[in-house]
Amino acid sequence: MTSDWLHLLPFLFVVAALYGAVGHGGASGYLAVMALAGLAPVMKPTALTLNLAVSLIGTVLFSRAGHFAWRLFWPFALASIPLAFLGGRLDVPTHVFKLLLALALAFAAARLLLPAPKSGDLRPTPLPLVFLAGAIMGLVSGLIGVGAGIFLTPLLLLMRWANAKTAAAVSAPFIFVNSAAGLAGHSASLHHLPTAWPLLALAVVAGGFLGARWGSGPARIAQLRPALAIVLGIASLKLVIT
């Protein structure tokens, strides 16, 4: 019912703004909000479609600001897209889906609580490792309904393959193509989107635009990371115990 979703609009707006600021589409945050609200049946397709909208905004704004690096994007995307499509086609048991999602949310929460990697001299990207990482992230993306930016961004930073702005600019289109591939592999689920989807999309587009405008400029989001981590952690715990 539409009324079941209306009270979630402010939370989705805030999640989209926070994730948009770092070039993400917000799927793990939307999944967390939906998990806390007990809306599991439509979580995956709803999160991926909202992810598409916000990650596209991030792609445009971060690229226009001059932060995008094609040399980093294409090998990750090439390896991930077919695996995201495959993951979207796989019909995993509910308890396995919940466990995988809980682990992904816990990872995202832990990563937000850890200090951001300090920038330093950038290293070259070894293609075999990039292809392997891209394939794994693509499969996870399709399986659980995230765009995999929660994995790509920290990888780029920790391996010193990109600075924070470039990592965000590469993550945004990576999230977009993986969300699209995951949906293509699970296209039948689009018939089960909630009737309130247009309102959900409006909320996340507004939040994502504001966040991406801020993040692609001189943003400082260190104070917001712990709050978002707590939400993800609670949702992860809820999925494990229910």
pLDDT per residue as tens digits for the range 37-93: 877 666 778 888 999 999 999 999 989 988 899 999 999 999 999 999 998 888 777
pLDDT per residue as tens digits for the range 121-166: 788 899 999 999 999 999 988 888 777 887 888 788 778 898 878 8
Distance from chain centroid for Cα 30 = 9
Q: What length is written for the chain? A: 242
Q: What is the pLDDT of residue 116?
A: 60
User: What's the domain range around 36?
Assistant: 2-241
pTM of the entire predicted model = 0.83
Structure tokens at 141: 């993306």
Output the CA torsion 12→156→229→51 (10° steps).
20
Cα–Cα dist 29/229, whole Å: 10
Residue with the larger pLDDT of the pair 110 and 242: 110
Report CA-CA distances (Å) from 139 to 7, 124, 211.
Answer: 32, 25, 27
Report CA-CA distances (Å) from 144 to 97, 127, 239.
Answer: 6, 26, 13
Q: What is the pLDDT of residue 242?
A: 59
Cα–Cα dist 143/183, whole Å: 10
Q: Give the residue from 34, 74, 91 showing the smallest Cα distance to 234.
A: 34
Q: How many domains does the chain have?
A: 1
Distance from chain centroid for Cα 95 = 21
